[in-house]
Structure 1
Amino acid sequence: MITFPNTPATAAALSVATRFCSPALLNHSIRSYVWGAMYASAHAIAYDDELFCVAALLHDTGLTEPFDSHRLPFEDAGGQLAWVFGVAVGWPQERAARARDVIVLHMRDDVPAADDPEAHVLQVATSWEVVGRHAEEFPERARAEVLTRYPRLGFGAEFLGCFEDQARRKPDSAAAASVRRDVAGRIAANPLETA
């Protein structure tokens, strides 16, 4: 099983995610790291493991009540929190900005691995997690192992509720566009929802 990088920043990010995310959202964030690391390894994608781990753990904090912005899309709010977090743990501002960018980009159009490996890996991992995209990348045995260790705990329904709420309040956001493109149906069809 893939483990987190053993750094103060990743330990702190896990503490933040544990404190502010629901159990389902926390496990989703952890699984996003695990799926992404698995995918990067299988495709020999060189990436910054600590940066990716922090971004994966914090990528949905903008959906939580303490950090939800009524003006910014959740990924922008979460990205800003990641910047603050990075500076607070002693990262240079440029590295903190990278964490922000990875989180923002995970909700944008596909980013090639050559352009931004961390954002690419987070996009693949989260699109697998939420709507089952890239299912061929994650063998049944790996799925079972990850889901046993970090169960979904009703993640699909909770996440859909978050996106529908974002769509109502922020109609120009990527979350609203996902709702218009039937994210509900895609979540229901995700093989992880019935595993």
Structure 2
Amino acid sequence: MELTKSKPSPSRGWLLCQFIARDLREVRSNAIRALKRQEVPFVARAEYGMPDSQACRKALELVTRVSPAFLLDHCLRSHAFAVAMAHMVPRKIDREVLFLGCVMHDLGLTQEHDHGDTFELDGARDARSHCLRHGISAERSDLVHEMIALHNSVGIAHKREPEIALIHFGAGTDVLGFGVKDIHSRTMQEILAEYPRIGFGEAMARLVGDQMQRKPRSYMTSMVALGFLNRLRKARLPGES
């Protein structure tokens, strides 16, 4: 697998087209589900719990140590949402890799793992090194790298390996409320009860805004110019006030 080594910010026009295409895919998916009278599957807590492996335990310990509580909870919600949306990908997923990529996907937003590049790549490189140190094969460590490097790559991530698509879906749900109808309502409420989003939008907006001020060539520069931070602050998931 070729690793993503740079992430220049795309043009605003290209991004707008990708967001419109994403919205159209969601409308189509919801319409087909309604016509066929299909329901999304309920996913219980046991299914989105942490896999029992040393690499996963060490990754959770790392993220817990370096992250503010709101960021840790975001990573855990993103994983839970990703598992809840696994019905959207056609192939079997590597549950250990999915957890590793999800729980470490925002390492680059922490002070300890901010090395001056766009935060997705800073985090991806350190997460890959963590995986290699804890017995994950080079091939699977590369997949973790790409999950993190591409987790916010609109128009790209959903076409890649299922683990990359799922972290994109899960994080997108938590950050902007994308795809909420692809998650069973009871699953959604149980995840939010376990990992509340209280104050998340404002805290995350400040963190990302600081990155953009210090690193104006970051990948998300164009997203921020299109109003990403305001949407992040206002996003609410079903059942939230």
Q: Normalized against structure 2, the TM-score is what?
A: 0.75
Contact in 2 for aligned 1:13/1:57 (Cα 8 Å): yes
User: Does structure 1 conserve the Cα–Cα contact (< 8 Å) formed by 2:205 and 2:233?
Assistant: no
Q: Which residues of 2 match residues 119-130 of structure 1 at below 5 A?
A: 119-130=164-175
Q: Work out whether residues 189 and 239 of structure 2, in 8 Å CA contact, stay in contact via their aligned partners in 1.
A: no
Partners of 1:193 and 1:186 in 2: CA distance: 16
Partner of 2:142: 97
Q: 58, 61, 80: which is aligned to 1:12?
A: 58
1:109 to 154, 169, 175: 154
Q: Tell me the residue number matched to 2:222.
A: 177
Q: Which runs of 5+ in 1 are unaligned?
A: none
Provide runs of 4+ in structure 1 moved above 4 Å: 42-45
* Partner residue, 1:60: 106
What is the identity, as a one-letter code, of the residue corresponding to 1:154?
G
Kindly state the Cα deviation for residue 140 of structure 1 after the two structures are TM-superposed: 3.2
Cα distance in structure 2, aligned partners of 1:45 and 1:149: 28
Tell me which residue corresponds to 1:138. 183
Question: 1:36 matched to which residue of 2?
Answer: 82
Amino acid at match of 2:200: F
Give 5+ residue unaligned stretches, structure 2.
1-44
Q: Relative to 1, partners in 2 of residues 1:163 and 1:114: Cα closer, same or farther, differing over 3 Å? A: closer
Q: Secondary structure at the match of 1:192?
A: coil
2:159 is the alignment partner of 1:82? no
1:73 alignment counterpart: 118
- Rate the CA distance shift 1:104–1:52 in 2: closer, same or farther, 3 A: same
RCO comparison, higher one (Cα < 8 Å, 6+): 2
Q: Larger deviation: 148-157 or 111-120? A: 111-120
- The alignment of Structure 1 onto Structure 2 pairs a total of residues equal to 194
Matched residue SS, 2:85:
helix
Alpha-carbon distance between aligned partners in 2 of 1:105 and 1:75, rounded to the nearest angstrom:
7
Instruction: Return the alpha-carbon distance in structure 2 between the equivalents of residues 66 and 128 of structure 1.
Output: 26
Q: Percent identity?
A: 27
2:68 to 15, 19, 22: 22
